[in-house]
Chains A and B, each alone.
Chain A
Amino acid sequence: GAVVSQHPSRVICKSGTSVKIECRSLDFQATTMFWYRQFPKQSLMLMATSNEGSKATYEQGVEKDKFLINHASLTLSTLTVTSAHPEDSSFYICSASSGRADQPQHFGDGTRLSIL
């Protein structure tokens, strides 16, 4: 199956730090990438959708200035959590799609972010 690599898998850092998470599609061109967040025992929550070469579309309630998304190529999207605070601690997961609605999205391994 399609492989999506997400890095890093675990981050622990101090409050106020900015954290960058990378999401790479290794064996297909990802026209669209999605960023999700999941708190313990809760459902996945879509944060934003990014299309290669254009600005990301953020879901309601997600601050675009706090969660910077860049999708500069068909194989790489990055999420930067700027000036992270303890309430930003969560499991962040990316997924990649070829852009065809009949094809599934494929998920990265996720990044567990802990802000002290």
Chain B
Amino acid sequence: RKEVEQDPGPFNVPEGATVAFNCTYSNSASQSFFWYRQDCRKEPKLLMSVYSSGNEDGRFTAQLNRASQYISLLIRDSKLSDSATYLCVVNEGGTYKYIFGTGTRLKVLA
């Protein structure tokens, strides 16, 4: 089993739709969680950290479910510019190593 797993997609959604991605992690001792987005041929950019109580930033909502060991990202009112690959990143704490999921590809269609 991979340490961090994501559905690679692609998720093709129309503009204005709401879309959600999940990411599961295998190490129950994982301490911190992040979502990044990566555009084609560019570096990953931090989208948001994921806090235990859940957090929201505009159209984006992130949640953590420690019992089931997954994090989620919800995007409301999708824009064409949201088209990208969304990477789930988990830090297990002890080694300060960040474990990446393979990414979920989102295409927002006009």
Contact = CB atoms under 8 A, between A and B. Distances in A.
**Interface on chain A toward B: helix, strand, loop, or mixed SS?**
loop
A95 B91 CA distance: 14
Contacts of B43: 93, 107-110
Give the interface size class of chain B.
20 to 34
Contacts, number: 49
A115 to B, nearest CB: 18
Interface string B31-71: 11010000001111110010000000000000000000000
Contact of B31 (A1, A101, A105, A109): A101
Which of A43, A95, A99, A110 is packed against the most chain B CB atoms within 10 Å? A43
Contact of B98 (A43, A105, A108, A110): A105
B6 to A, nearest CB: 10
Interface in B5-32: 31-32
Contacts of B96: 32, 49, 97, 99-101
A13 B102 CA distance: 30
B45 A101 contact: no
A91 B40 CA distance: 11
Interface residues of A, number: 24
Contacts of A109: 42-43
A102 B98 CA distance: 11
B1 interface: no
Contacts of B100: 43-44, 46
A4 B92 CA distance: 23
A56 to B, nearest CB: 13
Name, among B34, B91, B94, B96, the residue most crowded by chain A CB atoms within 10 Å (CB to CB). B96
Interface of B: 31-32, 34, 41-46, 49, 87, 89, 91-94, 96-98, 100, 102-103
Q: Which 8 A-B pairs have the closest CB atoms?
A: A107-B43, A101-B93, A110-B43, A102-B32, A43-B102, A101-B91, A104-B34, A104-B46
23 contacts: A43-B102, A44-B44, A44-B87, A46-B100, A49-B96, A91-B41, A93-B44, A97-B96, A97-B98, A100-B96, A101-B31, A101-B92, A101-B96, A102-B31, A102-B32, A104-B89, A105-B89, A106-B46, A107-B44, A107-B45, A108-B43, A109-B42, A109-B43
